[in-house]
Chain A
């Protein structure tokens, strides 16, 4: 075995340009795969962050209230009791809060847009303010940015205030201190408006932040004419986000036990359930439990797209490389027919000859892919650390971040190296089989 490795290794080094080219191709494809995986993971992390910051807890206890059979509102009543039950029955709970939910038009002097309203209680939103950074005035203020007032997100504790995101402020042409009007429809179909002062403009957090705005709970309540013990959803944050499904399942049982009507799990964001619930023939309150992934399920196409592109691209390249390796090895086998015959003549078995060529290819695969993966991971880490800003709105939206986020997972590195090394070994199999089947007599014939 040691000898086979030695012969394989030295043959590779003798291979010169052919070895170098194949190795380079292998390294590049592995590097590409590692980079794309890091991108996918980065988007995943950004998406998780954006989702659990803006519009979801790890687990959500939300619900719908129907005053009449053909009406629906994203409401839970008796929020204090729900929070208590959820808190008492959630293992590994690190944080709990509740937010009102609404959907309304924000109108400025020059423009208007629809946003999802999040009614918050500032005292329990430390994590939100930690995650968000405030936008530099120069990035959205129309006039002289030096004269712009600074963002003060904590002022959301005052009534009549609103926090927008940079892209919204940009589009509405407003800055801190300006007034905007919110216009909405109540449960009974009446239109309602409120004038709010912009107190903060936060940096975008990908696609989701383009339609999210934060206001005090009271603002939502008065817009919709809601009672004090109502809310939109209770957000539960866990020490381990992966336990979210288990926690949700447990709470579903507990709440059903406690007499609540809990809707069947529907892995969609709440705003996509309106139509379904609207068509249902019931009135009163039903609870709807979701996990964070459900609330961003409409965005997972991004991940699917990135993963599909990665898969397709590296798949095609892998096939090309496999063909390249096969070709190179067929040539090598032909060139080394005499050597193989000699080895067979002095008593090397077929299996060892097979192993010799497969090992040679896998050795090349292992070395080249390791180098490729390591280089690519290094580049990815550097790009992530430097924080390369994404120049286009569309890119920021799709990658759920305002800078390119790349997360290198060790498992991805090992997986990519292993996958391509194995592919190399497989491609080497047929040429190696041909070598193994060479009759030993060729040693004598080839060299005469």
Chain B
């Protein structure tokens, strides 16, 4: 039930740690306080849901963990490293090698087919031989059950299939942490459930840390830990029983 440690990975400390994180957005003359003092420790291999009403700061929180933004105050640490202290280039490298992103609206590259979309992060990383890379992509595409659609473009796929491509793209680099911002919001509940199951499967077998946001009670039930945000503050943080 508690977070397990991936074999071979450094065992010490939480993989993600937020301490006294605030995030302000300027809005004309006002500032919107999207996060107001969030403390959160996430251990390696967790499968954690961020819940909360619209505007509660879920996306903001994921963006901070996903290193596409930095906090106004406080610190976001990924494997002990504070993101505020990193350069744009270092953040890009971190995103490329340590993090995986799954977006609410999939955000696939429209002109590339399934295989190429999944291959993209590996090409950006470089380092693999062409054969290794192709094998990794094929494996990943197979894992999300899209082998028959390998050569199709996103616009030829259903919403659920697209989100599977996004998952494959996020996972193909074997990131330590995968962020998913309302990954099921654009899917019907059946498909959404299947997507969450898929993520959970991967979490179980690969010990990849998953952090996803949702305001769907069904989806929350799949999580092993639930963090509830209200007005930029953590209102509750508790384990979820497997029974759901």
* Chain A interfacial positions (CB closer than 8 Å to B): 2-3, 6-7, 10-11, 13-14, 338-339, 341-350, 352, 439-441, 443-444, 447-448
Q: Is the CB of B97 within 8 A of A3?
A: no
Cα–Cα distance between A252 and B123 once the two chains are bound (Å):
67
Digitize B112-143: 1 where CB-to-A-CB distance is under 8 Å, 0 elsewhere: 10001001110111000000000000000000
Instruction: Answer yes or no: B110 CB below 8 A from chain A CBs.
Output: yes
Q: Nearest Cβ in chain B — how far from A343, in angstroms?
A: 7
- Counting from the closest, the 5 A-B pairs by CB-CB distance are A347-B96, A10-B111, A342-B107, A440-B68, A347-B95
Known: A3-B116, A444-B68. A347 touches B104 (CB 8 A): no
Assess whether B59 is interfacial by the CB under 8 Å rule: yes
Contact A7 B112, CB 8 Å, known A346-B124, A347-B97, A444-B181: yes
Kindly report which residue of chain B lies nearest to residue A445, judged by CB atoms: B59
B109 located at the interface, meaning its Cβ lies under 8 Å from any Cβ of chain A in the complex:
yes
Besides A342-B103, A345-B101, 12 more A-B contacts (Cβ < 8 Å) are A3-B123, A7-B111, A11-B111, A339-B107, A343-B109, A346-B95, A346-B120, A347-B121, A349-B124, A443-B68, A444-B103, A447-B103
A345's partner among B95, B97, B104, B112 (CB-CB below 8 A) is B95
Known: A447-B104, A448-B59. Is A347-B92 also a contact (CB below 8 A)?
A: yes
Chain B positions within 8 Å of A447 at CB level: 103-105, 107
Q: Tell me what chain A mostly uses at the interface: helix, strand, loop, or mixed.
A: helix
Q: Which residue of A lies closest to B181 (CB)?
A: A444
Distance, CA A7 to CA B108, complexed state (A): 12
Are A339 and B110 touching (Cβ within 8 A)? yes
Q: What chain B residues lie within 8 Å of A348 (beta carbons)?
A: 92, 96, 124
**Do A350 and B88 touch (CB < 8 A)?**
yes
Question: Which residue of chain B lies nearest to A448 when distances are taken between CB atoms in the complex?
Answer: B104
List A contacts of B89 (CB < 8 A): 349-350
Chain B residue numbers with a CB within 8 Å of A444 are 59, 63, 68, 103, 181
Q: Which of B92, B101, B169, B170 has the most CB of A within 10 A?
A: B92
Please report the C-alpha to C-alpha distance between residue A343 and residue B68 in the assembled complex, in whole angstroms: 11
Whether A352 lies near B124 (C-beta < 8 A) is yes
Per the bound structure, the CA–CA distance linking A389 and B110 in Å amounts to: 54
Query: What is the CA–CA distance of A344 and B67 in the complex, to the nearest angstrom?
Result: 11
Q: What's the Cα separation between A346 and B108 when bound, in Å?
A: 11
Q: Kindly list chain B residues whose C-beta atoms are within 8 Å of the C-beta of A352.
A: 124
Q: Flag whether B66 is at the interface (Cβ < 8 A).
A: yes
| Interchain nearest-CB distance for A251 vs B (Å) | 64
B109 and A14 contact, CB distance less than 8 A: no
Q: Which of B69, B88, B169 has a CB less than 8 Å from the CB of A346?
A: B169
Question: Are A3 and B59 interface neighbours, CB within 8 A?
Answer: no
- Total interface residues in chain B, CB < 8 Å: 34
A–B pairs, 6, beta carbons within 8 Å: A342-B108, A343-B120, A346-B96, A349-B124, A441-B63, A443-B107
Q: B88: nearest residue on chain A (CB-CB)?
A: A350
A409: min CB distance to chain B, Å: 38
B162 to chain A minimum Cβ distance, whole angstroms, is 12
Q: Is B152 an interface residue (CB 8 A)?
A: no
How far, in angstroms, from A349 to B181 measured CA to CA in the complex? 22
Q: Does B19 contact A (CB under 8 A)?
A: no
Q: Chain A residues with Cβ under 8 A from B68's Cβ? A: 344-345, 439-441, 443-444
A440 contacts which chain B residues (CB < 8 A)? 68, 95
| A residues less than 8 Å from B92 (CB atoms) | 344, 347-350
Whole-angstrom CA separation of A11 from B112 in the bound complex: 10
Interface contact A3-B101, CB-CB below 8 Å:
no
Identify which of A7, A342, A443, A444 gathers the most chain B CB atoms within 10 Å of its CB.
Answer: A444
Residues of B within 8 Å of A343, CB to CB, are 109, 120
Complexed CA–CA distance, A2 and B124 (Å)? 11
Q: How far is the CA of A399 from the CA of B205 in the complex (A)?
A: 81
A94 to chain B, nearest CB (A): 59
User: Given the complex of chains A and B, what is the CA–CA distance between A107 and B176 in angstroms?
Assistant: 101
Residues from chain A with Cβ under 8 Å of B110 in the complex? 14, 339
Give complex CA distance A7, B113 in Å.
11
B218 within 8 A of A: no
Bound together, the chains give a CA A2 to CA B126 distance in angstroms of 12
Contacts of B124 in A (CB 8 A): 346-349, 352
In the bound complex, CA of A278 to CA of B241 (Å): 116
Query: Which residues of chain B are near A338, meaning CB under 8 Å?
Result: 107
Residue of B whose beta carbon sits closest to that of A11: B111
Q: Does B93 contact A (CB under 8 A)?
A: yes
Cα–Cα distance between A349 and B88 once the two chains are bound (Å): 9
Docked pose: A75 CA to B170 CA in angstroms: 90
* Given A345-B66, A441-B63: A339 and B105 interface contact (C-beta under 8 Å): no
| Complex contact B112–A6 (CB within 8 A) | yes
Q: How far is the CB of B103 from chain A (nearest CB, A)?
A: 6
- Name the A residues within 8 Å of B116 (CB-CB): 3, 6
Q: Are A346 and B101 in contact (CB under 8 A)?
A: yes
* Alpha-carbon separation in the docked complex, A3 to B95 (Å): 19
**Could you say which residues of chain A place their CB within 8 Å of the CB of B69?**
439, 441
The docked-state distance in angstroms from the alpha carbon of A95 to that of B138 is 74
In Å, the complex CA distance between A444 and B61 comes to 12
Per the bound structure, the CA–CA distance linking A265 and B88 in Å amounts to: 65
Q: Which chain A residue shows the least CB distance to B130? A: A2
Shortest distance from the beta carbon of A239 to any chain B beta carbon, whole Å: 54
Q: Are A3 and B120 in contact (CB-based, < 8 A)?
A: yes
Choose from B99, B100, B109, B123 the contact partner of A339 (Cβ within 8 Å). Answer: B109
> Are A10's CB and B112's CB within 8 A?
yes
* Interfacial chain A residues near B169, Cβ < 8 Å: 346
Q: How far is the CA of A342 from the CA of B103 in the complex (A)?
A: 9
A24 to B63, CA, bound (A): 43
Q: Which of B135-192 contact A (CB under 8 A)?
A: 169-170, 181
- Smallest CB-CB separation from A9: which chain B residue? B111
Tell me the bound Cα distance from A7 to B111 in angstroms. 6
